[in-house]
Every structure is written in C-alpha cells, then in structure tokens.
Amino acid sequence: MSQISLTFPDGSIRDYPAGTTAAEVAASIAPSLAKNAISASFDGRHVDLAWPLTGNGSIAINTMKDQAPALELIRHDLAHVMARAVQELWPDVKVTIGPVRDYGWFYDFDRAEPFTPDDLGAIEAKMKQIIAAREPVRTEVWDRARAIAYYKDRGEPFKVELIDRIPEGEDLRMYWHGDWQDLCRGPHLQHTGQLPADAFKLTHVAGAYWLGDNTRPMLQRIYGVAFRNRDELKAHMTMLEEAAKRDHRKLGREMDLFHMQEEAPGQVFWHPNGWNIYTTLQDYMRRQQKRGGYVEVNTPQVVNRKLWEASGHWQNYQENMFIVEVDEEHAREKTVNALKPMNCPCHVQIFNVGLKSYRDLPLRMAEFGSCNRYEPSGALHGIMRVRGFTQDDAHIFCTEAQIEPETKKFIEFLARIYADLGFDNWTVKLSTRPEKRIGSDESWDRVEAALGNACRAAGYDFEVQEGEGAFYGPKLEFTLTDAIGRQWQCGTLQVDPNLPERLDAEYVGEDGQKHRPVMLHRAVLGSFERFIGMLIENYAGKLPLWLAPRQVVVASIVSDADDYVREVVAALTAAGIRAEADIRNEKINYKVREHSLQKVPVIMAVGMKEVAERTVSIRRLDRQGSESVTLDAALESLMAEGTPPDLRG
C-alpha cells in the first residue's frame, strides 16, 4: 500500500497508509485527541474526520477549542438538523439550501403555510431530540444520475436544480444525519451528539426568493444563531438586545434624522438634523483629504453605456445598474445611459485629459461621488443598505514602485480618521491572488509584498485571505469593531492595473516612453450613509458634541427668563455652536426628559437665579445632576469640545 507523509503544526512529519482518515490520525496521536476531535484542516481545507487522506500535506486536528472550525461545524450541522426537524414535523415541506452566516445559519423552505413563533419553538424542541439521540453522521459520493433520480423520487425539485448548477466532474457529496439526507460539500461532525443542545436559538422567519431571483418562488427562511456553549449564546443574545436599542432606524426616528418611503426605495430623505451630521462629517473628510494631498473632482451622474462597456461594467455589473434611455432629438433610436454605480471610470477620464508625466505621479484624485446601485428590495436596510449613496471615494494613479509608500501613507491617513471618530479597534485583511487572474506570478508577488510591507511599516499586523483578491489585483480591507463588539468592514484599498489598461490611461516616464499607471481604489468610510448609520449605532445616538446634530438646547424654567435664554442662544450661535431655545410653557423636567430622549448632549436650564448671576445650569446627557457655570465659562468649554478634532490646537 502506498504511503503519504503528513506534516503537523509542530513541524513533525509522520507517514501513514494512503486513505487513512483524519480520525485515525488523531487516534494515532492520543486517545484523548481522538475523543475530542471534531474535524481536521488539511492543506488549508476544512475536512471531515471520516474523509480519507490520499496525498501528502499539512494537517491539524481540530477540537471545540478551535473557535473558527468549531463554529463552522456547529452552525452547519445545526442547519441540517433544523431541516430534518422541519421535515419530520411537516413531511410535505420541500428543502433548498442552508448556509452558515455570521453568528449562525439560515435554511430556506418551500411550505404553503407560514411558519409561526410557536412553530419555531416546536422545531427547536425537535432539534434537541435529534441531538440527544447522538445519531451518526456519514457521507458518500454519488454520481450525478443517481443523485438526480434520488431527489426526483422524493419530490425535491430544488435539490435537482442545485445539482444541475454543479459543474460536471465535481463530486456530489451526500450527508446523512441519522436517516435524514442532504446534498452538501461538508464538512460535518461525527454524530449529532457533538452539537451543544443549549447553545443555539431560532430567531426569526423571513421571506426569500429562490436563489435571490424575484421571478422565482418565494420561500420561507428560518434563521438561527449558535455558539460553542450556553455562555457564548447568552452573551450574543444580550448583544442583540443592546443592538435593538441602538438600531439606527429607531434612533433616526427619535432624533428626527431621516426617513425612507415607498416612492423612492433605497433612497434617503435627510432631515435637517441628519443633514447636520452628514455635512459635518463631509467637511471633516474634505479637510483631511486636502491635507493628505488629494485633489477633489466631481463627475457626471448619467454616463453613456459606451464608457461602461469599455470599463467592463456593462458586461459584468449591468444587473446592478440603473439604465436611463433618452430619446435624443431627431435620433432614430434611443441613447442608452446608466446612472453611475461607481466613480472609477469617470476618474480615469479626468486623468486622460492632457498629457501626464511621471512627475505628476502619484496623483490622488478624490470625489464625494453620488452613486446608484440596484439592490433587491428585501436586502435594503435603513441607511445601511441603500440604492443611492455617496462614497468618500478616491483613486491614486501611481507607478508600481509607488504602491508601497502610497499604501503606507493611506493606512496612516485612515488610522487618524478612525481615531478621530472614536474607533481604535480595527483590523487589516490582505486578500491575495485568486485562481483565475491576469498578470504574471512575479507581478502578483511584488504587489502582494508591497501591501504587506506597507502594513508592517505603518505598524499594523494583517490577516491573509488566500484567493480573495480581484482577478486583476490584491486588496486590503479595514474592519472596525464597534462599542458592542460587532465588526464592520469599511475602508478598502484595491490595486488595479486593469482599468487603466482598458481605458487607455498613460503617462510619460523618465525614459520618454508611454507607460500605464497603476490605479489604487481607496475609501475610508465607504459610504456616508452606511457609516453614519454605524456611528449612530456605535454611540447609541449619543454622538460626540462636534458631530451631534443638535448640540445645545437652552430651556427656560420660568417665562421671565425667556429674554436671557435668547441671549444665551445668540452667544452660543455666534461661537459656532448649534444651539436652540426652548421657551415653551412646560415644566423644566418635561423639557429635559424630551430633549434627553432626542439625544441632545447638552441641556442648559435657565431660571431667574441664572438671569441674576449670568450663569447657566448645564445638564449632560446620561449624567446625574447639573453644574452651574458662568456663561463665559460655558462658551469657552463648549467651543473647545464642539471643535472638530482636526481643528483643535
């Protein structure tokens, strides 16, 4: 029998007969490891313990202590167990797919009657019965004809269609959880008893079109969350409760920031308070970009399809574009345009006007570019997921030798902005070459090394995402962690030699010859809409004073103080502070409570004592009690606090 050599995490190498399973490898190391093993990582692939190993490679045995593989298996197996439970309770239900997602999984079902909250409780109870039975999980590889016949015989049309979508020659793996079977790539646990019965919960049901296509059947999607133990689940459910309190849609109504309506799906109606946040943030970003050596431009909203064809977007992105047909005067056919979904092709057009020299590079071109992209209505989510948005978009035209210093400069630029906005906890991911790509391996080696070196030079570690880069170049992704531990992918830097080639961008080098520039697509916030939604949720609406839409409310205690209230508001306004008067004939406690609910950070109470002493009584949001200070002292303090961080001395 032929032998294979397996390399372990400690560097040791052992030989085994070809076809040895990962379970047998674990048993050869220690009985305790065999007992606790749940899966293996083999040459970077996550595999079942029962799957035979037929070649040399690196191997690591996973246990429940290995968080990432453990959570993947728990959530994946629970998706299957849930589908089994549903079909045991309602045998006529058809099953489709059930992928793992953040914190859990979902599974789509075709059922005539809608699932109810009581149904979710019944499904959970059935799942726990299946887990308690500790039934084995097994797998086989079937040929295509056998698999299709199997599903047709059982009246599962969605599975038949899925098989038709799997490329010829790819293995069709069948998994059984007990006597219930599903088509799946795997991997899975060894038996249902390895699932933690007290660490999962079904959360809600939503509608979902089959394969996301609104011309296909509407299915019912059941969502679940799962963790390794009860404590992790409890922490997550507490986080969800906190997230619900911070929901930007709820706070947007309470703070009167924005609204959405049916006549403009996925578009934001900004109210004065919300627009204050937007313009304050945009002004801050404009100042930062100017200091960072960027030139600001503005490009058209409606662009002829010829440019999108040349850039490749018409062929690859058309389903996400809004098409605009114009019947030009005397034209025999309509002119076809599109609302721009991104700014990059237009920026190349500006670069292409006039002759550019190597002395002009790097050229950092920025735009607060308004873009429109079609998103399915079911995917829209407040101002976080919209169809119309504005990016803090920029493109750096440079030489390949300038990629590393420009990337380092950008990371430092991004770090300053995130710190000013209250985010010190963020990570970097480097996405490397995919299987299908353009360019030589030598070129990819140089560019990937440049991005990695830039991260290290800027003082940041990074996680490598193998094969996740675009077909034309690698990229960096910057992910923020908010106040309640959620992660948000915001900033990006993408290396792109492809678009300058497609759109014929050139510069004259030191040798007097024409060369192609490299294009670095970069953003810090991503879109203003999404980032503002994230800020609202991160701060639970209690934004820093410089960003708060309503900074100060001066409220009268008695009507005789109204004139002094107006004087205080005038002084604050002259000092550049967003202030307003509340001289309604209401009790001061009512006024304070109302403005606190609307997240006004500073409320000044003014009565006859304050009039006589020319003071104000300051109440801070979420602080007990008040502080009496002179008007001049209040002005000085609030002016300093209300100044954007980049303008402070």
Q: Is residue 625 part of a domain?
A: yes
In this prediction, residues 131-141 reach a mean pLDDT of: 93
Label residue 280 by pLDDT band (50, 70, 90): very high
Q: Is residue 246 part of a domain?
A: no
Q: Is residue 247 part of a domain?
A: no
Counting residues of the chain whose pLDDT is more than 70, the rounded percentage is 99
Q: What is the DSSP letter of 167?
A: P
What pLDDT is stored for residue 51 in this prediction?
85
Alpha helices in 491-630 (DSSP H): 498-502, 528-538, 562-574, 588-597, 608-613
Counting residues of the chain whose pLDDT is more than 90, the rounded percentage is 86
Residue 138 pLDDT more than 70? yes
Q: Which of 248, 340, 395, 408 is catalytic?
A: 395
Active site annotation includes 194: no
In this prediction, residues 52-59 reach a mean pLDDT of: 92
Return the CATH number at 464. Answer: 3.30.930.10
**CA–CA distance, 126 with 247 (Å, rounded to integer):** 33
Please indicate, yes or no, whether residues 412 and 484 belong to a single structural domain of this protein. yes
Please indicate, yes or no, whether residues 225 and 349 belong to a single structural domain of this protein. no
Please indicate, yes or no, whether residues 531 and 566 belong to a single structural domain of this protein. no
Q: Is residue 250 part of a domain?
A: no
Instruction: Give the residue ranges of the annotated binding site for Zn(2+).
Output: 344, 395, 521
Model pTM score:
0.84
Active site annotation includes 184: no
Count of Cβ atoms closer than 10 Å to residue 286 Cβ: 15
Residue 549 pLDDT more than 60? yes
In this prediction, residues 602-617 reach a mean pLDDT of: 96
Active site annotation includes 246: no
Residue 105 pLDDT more than 60? yes
Q: Which of 111, 144, 191, 373 is catalytic?
A: 373
Return the CATH number at 145. Answer: 3.30.980.10
Active site annotation includes 393: yes
Label residue 604 by pLDDT band (50, 70, 90): very high
Q: Is residue 249 part of a domain?
A: no
Label residue 332 by pLDDT band (50, 70, 90): low
Q: In the predicted model, what is the mean pLDDT of the chain? A: 94
- Sign of the four-CA dihedral 436, 437, 440, 445: negative
Strands (E), 86-212: 94-95, 100-101, 104-110, 137-142, 172-177, 180-183, 200-209
b/e for 13-25, b at 16 or more Cβ within 10 A?
eeebeeebbbbbb
In this prediction, residues 215-222 reach a mean pLDDT of: 92
In this prediction, residues 487-514 reach a mean pLDDT of: 95
Please indicate, yes or no, whether residues 396 and 482 belong to a single structural domain of this protein. yes
Label residue 376 by pLDDT band (50, 70, 90): confident
Instruction: Give the residue ranges of the annotated binding site.
Output: 344, 395, 521
Residue 212 pLDDT more than 90? no
Q: Which of 190, 194, 289, 391 is catalytic?
A: 391
Q: Which pLDDT tens digit goes with each residue over 582-591? A: 999 999 999 9
Please indicate, yes or no, whether residues 312 and 460 belong to a single structural domain of this protein. yes
AA letter at 88: E
Return the CATH number at 37. Answer: 3.10.20.30
Active site annotation includes 152: no
What pLDDT is stored for residue 331 in this prediction?
62
Alpha helices in 292-426 (DSSP H): 305-311, 313-317, 344-352, 403-420
**CA–CA distance, 7 with 16 (Å, rounded to integer):** 11
Please indicate, yes or no, whether residues 111 and 85 belong to a single structural domain of this protein. yes
Please indicate, yes or no, whether residues 404 and 333 belong to a single structural domain of this protein. yes
Which of the residue ranges 6-10, 84-88, 330-334, 525-529 would you say has the lowest mean pLDDT?
330-334
Please indicate, yes or no, whether residues 327 and 358 belong to a single structural domain of this protein. yes
Q: Are 510 and 522 in contact (CB under 8 A)?
A: no
Please indicate, yes or no, whether residues 643 and 529 belong to a single structural domain of this protein. no
Please indicate, yes or no, whether residues 99 and 220 belong to a single structural domain of this protein. yes
Q: Is residue 495 part of a domain?
A: yes
Q: Which of 77, 108, 182, 393 is catalytic?
A: 393
In this prediction, residues 9-13 reach a mean pLDDT of: 92
Active site annotation includes 267: no
Q: Is residue 507 part of a domain?
A: yes
What pLDDT is stored for residue 151 in this prediction?
93
Q: Is residue 540 part of a domain?
A: no
Q: Which of 475, 522, 578, 595 is catalytic?
A: 475
What pLDDT is stored for residue 330 in this prediction?
65
Total domains in the chain come to 4
Active site annotation includes 181: no
Residue 1 pLDDT more than 60? no
587: containing domain: 545-647
Q: Which pLDDT tens digit goes with each residue over 503-536? A: 999 999 999 999 999 999 999 999 999 999 999 9
Please indicate, yes or no, whether residues 458 and 358 belong to a single structural domain of this protein. yes
Q: Which pLDDT tens digit goes with each residue over 78-101? A: 999 999 999 999 999 999 999 999
Please indicate, yes or no, whether residues 264 and 318 belong to a single structural domain of this protein. yes
What pLDDT is stored for residue 220 in this prediction?
95
What pLDDT is stored for residue 409 in this prediction?
98
The contacts of residue 548 (CB under 8 Å, 6+ apart) are 277, 578, 599, 600, 601
AA letter at 440: S
